[in-house]
Amino acid sequence: KIVIAKKATSLFKDGMVVLTGGGTTILELVKQLPQNIAGTFFTISPLVAVELAKYDNLEVILIGGLFSKNSQITYGGQVITQLSEIKADLCVMGTSAIHPEDGLTDTYWEINQLKKAMIACSKKTAVLCISEKLDISLRLRVCPIESISYLITELDHENEALADYRTKDLNIL
């Protein structure tokens, strides 16, 4: 996850408006950001907000709503309404499953709706994904693969496991 996080830091520039999901890979990414980075970060994860608060030049906005004890993120209609008011330069999220034909998928309806709203309010979307979650398709579709700007894994860009993803209109880091 550290390799994924280090690759993802190349996407961040000063002054950006960034939206993040939650999870261990996103937490690792936040720890890898340059100490002097400046910008605005919206997040649905209280744990991510606490890590982001360690950066002096970041404005951190925690989006509130129902709290998932399991995922450690906020979700629900109130969160989706707040997301609809954001115009983010970049959305960074983890995933349960990604497939070259089926795109980004999930198991839980509320999380599915949340991820759709996050993607909809962002110019670009980066999916941070350990290789074990590649080529998996779950029952609920979040978005087609073409809606994702960046797929970031711990694998080398030329790894055979990414062959089907390289044929898509997708930046692989």
Who's near 121: CB < 8 A, 6+ residues apart? 19, 83, 84, 85, 86, 87, 88, 91
pLDDT of residue 169: 85
In angstroms, the CA 65 to CA 68 distance is 10
pLDDT of residue 141: 97
Range of the domain at 65: 2-172
pTM: predicted TM-score of the whole model, two decimal places: 0.94
123 in Cβ contact with 53 (< 8 Å) = no
According to DSSP, the β-strands at 66-68 and 97-99 are: unpaired
> Could you tell me the maximum CA-CA distance found in the chain, to the nearest angstrom?
42
pLDDT of residue 9: 97
pLDDT of residue 116: 98
**Total number of domains constituting the chain:** 1
> What CATH number has the domain bearing residue 33?
3.40.50.1360
In angstroms, the CA 54 to CA 7 distance is 21
pLDDT in tens, the chain (173 residues): 899 999 999 999 999 999 999 999 999 999 999 999 999 999 999 999 999 999 999 999 999 999 999 999 999 999 999 999 999 999 999 999 999 999 999 999 999 999 999 999 999 999 999 999 999 999 999 999 999 999 999 999 999 999 999 999 899 99
